Amino acid sequence: MNSQHFANTLLRWYPQNKRELPWRNTKEPYIIWLSEIILQQTRVAQGQPFFEAFISRYPDVHRLAEAPIEEVMRLWQGLGYYSRARNLHACAQEIAFNRNGRFPATFGELRKLKGVGNYTAAAIASFAYGQKIAVVDGNVYRVLSRYFGIALDIASSQGQKAFADLANRLIPEASPDEYNQAIMEFGALQCVPKKPDCDICPLLPGCFAQKHRMVEELPVKTKKVRTTQRVFLYFHITAGDKTFIKERGPR
C-alpha cells in the first residue's frame, strides 16, 4: 500500500468512526491550544470535564490571562502535573498582553510560547491554520511503527526524528489537518496498545506487524527510570484551634 493509499484509507475511516469532542470542528487556536495542554499526559475521558470547565470559566484567552493564578490552579486541581497550569496561565498572559490576543500562525513561533512543545505547536499549526505539518503523539507512533514495521526506539532522538520525517512525508496536500486528526483517532480507537481488533482494521492488508506477528512488540520504547533521593521537612504549627498553612510556591 503506497503512502497515498495509506492516507486515503485513514481519511475514509475517520468521518465514520471519530468521536464528537468539543474541541473539534473549530479553527479557533485558543480552544485547540487549551485542549492540547489539558490532554498532555491525560486521557480524553479524564480531561474533557476539565476542558469544559475552563471554557465555561474562561471563554477566551483574555479572560484566562486576567484570572488570578490561584483560581486557575484550583480549577486545575485533579489533573496533576501542575506546571502545566502555571505554563498555561503564563502563555495566556503572553498572548493577551503582548500579542493582542492573537496566537502565532507558524510552528516556529508557536514553539516559542511557554509550555508549548513540538507536538502542541504542530497541533495548533495544523488544526487552526491548516499547515502541512505532522502531529506526532503516542497514537501516531503506534500506527506508523506497526504498519511500516519500524523498530526504532520512540524514546530515542534517532527514533523520534525518523518517525517525524515519515509522518511528514505521508501527509496529503489536501486536508492535512483532517489527516492528522484521522491518524491520531485511528491509534486511539482502532490500533490500540493492547489486543487491537486487527480483523476489522482497514489497514490490515499492508500491515507489517500483523503479517509478522509483531503487534504486541511495536512500538519499541525503552523505559529509563531515574531515582532521586529527596528529603522533606514538615512543620505542623497550631495555636489554640488554629492551624497555620503556607501555600507552596512554583518550586
Cell numbers standing for residue 119: 507536538
CB–CB of 131/176 below 8 Å? yes
Note the maximum CA span of the chain: 75
Backbone angles phi, psi at 237, to 5 degrees: -110, 125
**Which residue in the list 36, 52, 173, 185 is annotated as catalytic?**
36
247 is catalytic: no
Type and span of the H or E element at 243: strand 242-243
Let me know if 18 is exposed, middle or buried by CB neighbors in 10 A (0-12, 13-18, 19+).
Answer: middle
State the first-to-last Cα distance of the chain, in angstroms, to the nearest integer.
51
Active site positions, annotated? 36
